[in-house]
């Protein structure tokens, strides 16, 4: 129980990363592939899925590894990854022209909300780590 309590924020990051990675090609996937051509939103979906898997690996490593400095480094690496995921749909990759298309109405908002939450949780995790470190330094 102590392990779960100690790594609670890491588990939240892991769950959010899994939702991002799996949801990007299932629940909130971009527009379906057309037989005539592949739209740019499909490539945005592939990049989001890839970055989501990277976030999953980072989060899982942070849960498994016991060294606090390494965990902090992993969490610091998650912050720019979350920012990159946020920017993929609509900024780095153009999406469809019509706002009624699935990539704009479902994919982009879902990716941006989840990646923003991952960003906030990761920043909070870094702040919590520094607060814990300062409390331990004061008590010694």
| pLDDT computed for residue 139 by the predictor | 62
DSSP 35: S
- Decide if 92 contacts 46 (C-beta within 8 A): no
Q: Domain limits of the chain?
A: 2-139
Distance CA 74, CA 40 (A): 31
Distance CA 24, CA 127 (A): 29
End-to-end CA distance of the chain: 26
| pLDDT computed for residue 138 by the predictor | 66
| pLDDT computed for residue 36 by the predictor | 82
| pLDDT computed for residue 37 by the predictor | 82
Per-residue pLDDT of the chain (140 residues), as tens digits, is: 687 888 899 999 999 999 999 999 999 999 888 778 888 899 999 999 999 999 999 999 999 999 999 999 999 999 999 999 999 999 999 998 899 999 999 999 999 999 999 999 999 999 999 998 888 766 65
| pLDDT computed for residue 96 by the predictor | 87
| pLDDT computed for residue 74 by the predictor | 96
List helix spans (H) across 7-107: 8-23, 40-64, 68-87, 102
| pLDDT computed for residue 95 by the predictor | 92
Beta-carbon contacts of 41 under 8 Å, excluding residues fewer than 6 positions away, are: 30, 31, 89, 93, 95, 96, 101, 103, 107
């Amino acid at each position: 129980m102590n392990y779960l309590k100690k790594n609670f924020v890491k588990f939240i990051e892991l769950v959010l990363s899994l939702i991002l990675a799996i949801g990007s090609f299932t629940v909130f996937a971009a527009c379906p592939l057309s037989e005539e051509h592949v739209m740019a939103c499909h490539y945005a979906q592939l990049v989001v899925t890839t970055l989501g898997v990277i976030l999953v690996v980072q989060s899982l490593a942070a849960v498994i590894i016991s060294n606090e400095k390494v965990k902090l480094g992993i969490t610091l690496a998650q912050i720019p990854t979350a920012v990159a995921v946020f920017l993929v749909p609509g900024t780095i990759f153009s999406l469809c022209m019509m706002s009624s298309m699935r990539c704009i109405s479902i994919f982009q908002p879902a990716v941006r909300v989840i990646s923003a939450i991952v960003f906030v949780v990761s920043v909070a995790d870094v702040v919590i780590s520094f607060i814990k470190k300062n409390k331990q330094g004061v008590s010694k």
